[in-house]
Amino acid sequence: MWNNLSTTKPQELAIQDVGIWKTYFDNLYKNIPQKDLNQNQLEIKEKLNILESVIKNNQNPLDYPITQQELNEKLKSIKSKKACGVDNIRNEMLKNSTPELQNAVLKLFNMVLTSGCFPDVWNQGLISPIHKSGDKSDPNNYRGICVNSNLGKIFCSILNSRIQTFLQEKNVISKCQIGFLPNHRTTDHIYTLHTLINKHVHQKKEGKIFACFIDFKKAFDSIWHEGLFYKILQSGLGGKVYDLIKCMYTENKCAIKIKNQRTEFFSQCRGVRQGCNLSPNLFNIYINELADMLDQSPAPGLTLFDTEVKYLLYADDLVLLSPTKEGLQQNINILEQYCHNWALAVNFQKTKIMIFQKKPRCQKHKCKFTLNNTLIEHTKNYTYLGLTISASGNFNMAVKALKEKARRAMYAIKMKLFKINIPIRIWTKIFDSVILPIALYGSEVWGPLNKLDFKMWDKHPIEALHAEFCRKILQVQRNTPTNACRAELGRFPVIMKIQKRSLKFWLHLNSSPNSSLQFKALQAQELSPETSPLSQMVLDLTNQADASTASKERIPISKIMNQSKESYLQYWKNETKSQSRLNCYLTLNREYELADYLYSVRDTKQRQILTKYRLSDHRLAIETGRHKKTWLPKEERVCGHCMTGEVETEMHFLLYCDKYSSQRDSLFTEMTTYIPNFYKLNPEEKLRILMGEGAMAPLAAKYVFSCHSLRDTE
């Protein structure tokens, strides 16, 4: 089933001509002509020549031999079933290599390191265009996925680990830049931004934050190589590692591959290497110059505990922040100067101004901001790091967008697999592993902002999606009670997953470096826990479970979640008892788990009908009498198919109605074969069996379906 899900028919490229793609990528990666370099860039080239001749060979902290341990760690971590480069060496060959071959690889790696020359075959990549969004006939709406040598990737991965450690130990990268860094995530910056909005907007009378969300134009593909080499040396790296990086960038070549077509190789003279482990850290080194310039700016920033924040960087996702409009314009001017010096460009279509305030209103006529003499558009909402945030700082639009995105994914999968009779247990796994992560993105931040009691949560858009999923796989109507649908599948409300994610996120924030912005944000929030939704949620959950938050490194998450489940089960019992529609369901007296009949009854039509009767999603008089247009007092909802005058309940329908006596006699006779004392059971016990509880579920489903069909045809 999983193979069927993952094996999709590849979409045909709108542009099949490899020549067009070669021209596009060749132009994209073309070097800046000498005549087009501005004065600042010419000075950077001169400084690079000086650094290479004076200090390059004197700063070689990473040139020590590669060890067997380093190689083994990387071999263990590589993934199977990945494409291979032009050398045709597959990951499986390396992962399962003999000790003799591993020794040969180690010797090869150290020869490459000692020589400072990156092998030509490792420098050849095959690019496949992948559509992002927009017009499929425009190459600008595609990104290139490059396949390089797997052996070269392992070598670069070893170098990257060394560089990563060096950058951390030397504090080279700004603390405001957390893109691609270990133990950092997008929600760190989302949480920090939310904290700043809470502190400087909601906790102040006339508080405002002036923000500019910057979208760079193909930032990773535009890196100026001479500038990159200069920044690498300036960061303290040199020696053979520098020689290798320079070699792989000056000699890097790519070819376009579409199906069985392949172009000639052409030079990549700009941008970081596609698919290379080194690229994220090299990009961070390159753009760190912007962070340094903003840090030195006289423009005021936003206070966050004991630090000042003027910007947030996640790779190339940049937001400039200031408490004043003048300060924001100063920072925009710095960005303009940086782009001029370092050959980057801004995408004005996606670069927006947002003024955070309690009651957002149009400010574009009062507050005008320009970049390169171009007016920047204002907006009242912006999708930052995948989460839509509004000018008031709330995430309502984000939650709706996440719900719709997850919903589209759910129906896309359903359409792909509609011909396959997938077991319900597998459907729930698909939902939890594929759909729910989409819906819960960033819920560590936006989740605690809602009043998360069980009754209110049932109205939340994400729980509405969960309920829709439950009803779809049970094949019941939209008005079927949500709490019964979840119980039938043994599923707890999604709020439980948000609680668990929030607990883990709180632990993550507490274990972050003391100098990190996310740690500062947590400190700022916990100065007044009652105004900190995340801290308040953690406190409430730990108190509920008689746990403690005294240990910032460890809280008993399993114990807390077990207690939360117990609280919900108690709520569920009370809530279900108050719903007269679920009286029959309560008589089943079942455990809160996936009902056995959902996988023991193989006939899907019989299973569906059985589910409908269990969950009171049927046309018996007891239910139709509840409807507004056909409402009747309970005692008047009598069966119209027999002369007993009894109310047509599920028990009457299955045990007493004369209309189905033939089917009943046949079933009961067969039942006694397996349950000898069946006739002696009380009505409630018989009803449980006929409703699919126990090993006789397939037989019961057949009986219910037969009775339903007879009733439905007359």
pLDDT in tens, 49-65: 999 999 998 998 999 99
Q: Are residues 355 and 287 in the same domain?
A: yes
Tell me the mean pLDDT in the region 20-37: 92
Q: Is residue 455 part of a domain?
A: yes
Per-residue confidence (pLDDT) for residue 297, from 0 to 100: 94
Q: Is residue 590 part of a domain?
A: no
Whether 473 and 558 map to the same domain: the answer is yes
Question: Do residues 423 and 321 share a domain?
Answer: no
Query: Are the CB atoms for 151 and 122 separated by under 8 Å?
Result: yes
Whether residue 635 is predicted with pLDDT greater than 80 in this model: the reply is yes
For residue 362, what pLDDT is reported? 58
Residue 613 lies in a domain: yes
Q: Are 146 and 126 in contact (CB under 8 A)?
A: yes
Phi, psi of 255 (to 5 degrees): -135, 150
Report yes or no: 262 and 255 within 8 Å, Cβ to Cβ.
Answer: yes
Residues of 537-562 as b/e, b for ≥16 C-beta within 10 angstroms?
Answer: bbbebbeebebebeeeeebbbeebbe
Q: Is the pLDDT of residue 551 over 90?
A: no
The mean predicted confidence, pLDDT, of the chain is: 92
For residue 591, tell me if it sits in a domain.
Answer: no
β-pairing, 370-371 with 311-314?
Answer: unpaired
Q: Phi and psi for 583 in degrees, rounded to 5? A: -60, -45
Q: Which of 533, 551, 578 is the last residue of a domain?
A: 578
Do residue 209 and residue 232 come from a single domain?
no
Cβ atoms 461, 554 nearer than 8 A:
no
pLDDT tens-digit profile of 372-417? Answer: 999 999 999 999 999 999 999 999 999 999 999 999 999 999 888 8
| pLDDT tens profile 566-620 | 999 999 999 999 998 999 999 998 899 999 999 999 999 999 999 999 999 999 9
Task: Name residue 263's amino acid.
Answer: T
Task: Judge if 370 and 515 occupy the same domain.
Answer: no
Query: How many Å apart are CA 55 and CA 74, to the nearest integer?
Result: 31
Together in a domain, 310 and 370: yes
Is 422 part of any domain? yes
| 183 domain residue, yes or no | no
21 within some domain: yes
At residue 22, the pLDDT reads 92
Tell whether the model's pLDDT for residue 265 goes beyond 90. Answer: yes
Same domain, 193 and 229: no
Does one domain contain both 513 and 658? Answer: no
With a CB cutoff of 8 Å and minimum separation 6, the contacts of 581 are: 481, 616, 623, 626
Averaged pLDDT for residues 61-80: 95
pTM for the structure as a whole: 0.91
Structural domain tally of the chain?
A: 4
Strands 352-356 and 209-215: antiparallel
Which residues constitute the domain of residue 603? 596-712
Q: Residues 498, 532: one domain?
A: yes
What is the mean predicted confidence (pLDDT) over 128-139?
Answer: 88
Identify whether residues 475 and 370 lie together within a single domain.
no
Q: Is residue 344 part of a domain?
A: yes
- pLDDT at position 419 over 90: no
Inform me whether the pLDDT recorded for 3 exceeds 80: no
Q: Give CA–CA dist 518/664, Å, rounded.
A: 66
CATH number of the domain to which 377 belongs: 3.30.70
In whole angstroms, how far apart are CA 524 and each of 177, 194, 507? Answer: 20, 12, 16
Regarding whether 601 and 569 lie in a shared domain, the answer is no
pLDDT digits (tens, 9 = 90+) for 306-349: 999 999 999 999 999 999 999 999 999 999 999 999 999 999 99
pLDDT at 229: 98
Domain closes at, from 357, 386, 415? 386
pLDDT tens digits for range 142-192: 888 999 999 999 999 999 999 999 999 999 999 999 999 999 999 999 999
As a whole number of angstroms, the distance between CA 122 and CA 141 comes to 28
Based on the domain organization, do 366 and 337 belong to the same domain? yes
Q: Which percentage of the chain shows pLDDT scores above 90? A: 81
Q: What tens digit of pLDDT does each residue of 342-369 get?
A: 999 999 999 999 999 988 765 555 789 9
CB 210 within 8 A of CB 327: yes
What pLDDT does 606 receive? Answer: 96
